[in-house]
Structure 1
């Protein structure tokens, strides 16, 4: 008696489970890659979170203590946020020809003009300057008269060094003049823009922030510059970024799961019998 040999179609094929697919070397390797990516995202989230809370905030009223400019920020550096509005003191000499006017400056709600100057600092190994907002004028003519007077005083043979006390403030960045205005008109206090019009700048170190003087010379009014509001020691934007990185880390695992499941579902479809077969 002979037996009938089995044909390949007689072999029963069991579909794989999702777990079996996930345990294949390919998907284990993908899981390890996801772990690496998630680890990077988690590290970035932890880094953002560590920057979100200032564990050593400045004490209340710290900005009102006059400090030497060199102790607060160095030339070319950005001004740290806790130090914006810090009262500082700087000594030096005005550079003749660099008294420039900035428009659209408000003083106690009244629009006017700032007269600015290049203060060449003393006691520096390299030539170093900072832009100074010297005082406020209500009209362009008053600002022009003040520029002429400051220029005359700076060029005098007996011109003495000056000491300026005021608030150190971040660069406002360049801004386009109003439509129809003089293309050279400046409407923002930007040391970078002022530097482009200063003289004697070869090899010059320049401060990124500017100094708003507390006391104006004659022909100008004092610039209104109140103390900055006390800020919170929690940076909510950094906390939001940290949460974003946590979501990205979770998404790395979800993407691995979704791709493995898609591969499993594709295998199940391939094992289904053809219609009418």
Structure 2
């Protein structure tokens, strides 16, 4: 069969098969590199444990990027009385309840210290006379209540305990810490008893409930964890932990295995083609086949005759003496 393999046409086909194998191996390596480059933890746990200024994560009027979502942040400002509202269907563990949300007038986001400037009056913006309209507005979630009644009572307590936002430049804001989150899509409630009920942290719906407009808005919302005393009936909102388990793209691994199988198949197909050609030659020339068999038999007999065992079993011939 070796004579068949070294035929020029099969050598040329072998060169093509080797080229295909090299290409398949390169593609497999590319898939492996992609799998391990994208591997790691679902989130860098250190980044999601370190508190950074709000301004490092998002700015007013600019959308938040995916890598900054759910990161801890610190911000200075004032909660705005009269702008508290409830959001329905909020999970707390296994229970469904209500969030109390509000309007945070941001005085300092750690990057920019906002100075109170009188906003321009337009058809869309009419000043209310409150100091809150001089600062960017950030929707924030404050606490969770089991029932809507408890949430409404908590709002009354917050309104009573929250001072109006000052318009003076030397006013000292409060410090808050929490997490910054991406805005959610509005949830419609047309079939419910209250079609105006808010069911998500959608900026458009929340801002429309504020009695005090803002000069600009953050395209995100904050979950306040520290900086406010919760009234009776409100619980701190439970935060879902970040998945920091090791992640590996199994799809890329599967593709890499496929390319390795294709490389093996390329060599196997070449070998089958050469083998079929060899078998066809043997079938077309029975004399050559017989010659090969006779040659193999003679070689086997010669090997047996030259083995030590064959030599030992052969008796010595003696020459008879003559009288």
Q: Decide whether aligned partners of structure 1 residues 84 and 120 sit closer, same or farther in structure 2, where only a CA change above 3 A counts.
A: same
Structure of larger gyration radius: 2
Relative to structure 2, which stretch is displaced further, 85-94 or 192-201?
192-201
Q: With structure 1 as the length reference, what TM-score do the two structures score?
A: 0.59
CA-to-aligned-CA distance 1:105-135 (integer Å, 9 cap, x gap): 0111210000011000113146201000000
1:150 corresponds to which of 155, 158, 166: 158
SS of the counterpart of 2:48?
helix
Task: Check the 8 A contact 1:63/1:227 in 2, yes or no.
Answer: no
Give, in angstroms, the shift of residue 76 of structure 1: 1.9
Q: 1:217 aligns with which of 224, 230, 233?
A: 230
Contact (CA 8 Å) 2:80, 2:165: kept in 1 or not?
A: no
Q: Deviations over 1:78-98 (max 9, x none)?
A: 221111110001111111210
Cα distance in 2, alignment partners of residues 192 and 235 from structure 1:
37
Match of residue 162 from structure 1: 174
1:166 shift after superposition = 0.9
TM-score (norm 2): 0.51
8 A Cα contact 2:80 2:164, kept in partner: no
CA distance in 2, matches of 1:214, 1:157: 21
Tell me the equivalent position of 2:186. 174
Distance in 2 between residues matched to 1:236 and 1:75, nearest whole Å: 39
1:208 counterpart (219, 229, 233):
219
Assess, with a 3 A threshold, how the Cα gap between structure 1 residues 160 and 109 changes in structure 2: closer, same or farther. farther
User: How far apart in 1 are the matches of 2:100 and 2:250?
Assistant: 37
Maintained 8 Å contact 1:93/1:160: no
**Structure 2 matches for 1:20-59, cutoff 5 A?**
59=44
Distance 1:92 1:226 in 2: 26
* Aligned residue pair count: 186
Instruction: Say if 1:173 and 1:192, in contact at 8 Å, map to a contact too.
Output: no
1:134 aligns with 2:142: yes
2:162 alignment partner, SS class: helix
Partner of 2:71: 86
In the alignment, the residues of structure 2 paired with residue 94 and residue 129 of structure 1 have an alpha-carbon distance, to the nearest angstrom, of 10
- Give the root-mean-square deviation of aligned CA atoms: 3.1
Q: Distance in 2 between matches of 1:81 and 1:157?
A: 32
Tell me what 2:206 maps to: 194
Q: Does the residue aligned with 2:98 lie in a helix, a strand or coil?
A: strand
Q: C-alpha separation between the residues in 1 aligned to 2:178 and 2:192?
A: 34
The answer as to 2:114 corresponding to 1:124 is: yes
Q: Distance in 2 between matches of 1:166 and 1:157?
A: 21
Q: Aligned residue for 2:25?
A: none
Unaligned runs of 5+ in 2: 1-33, 108-112, 118-134, 253-323
* Aligned 8 A contact 2:158 2:231 in 1: no
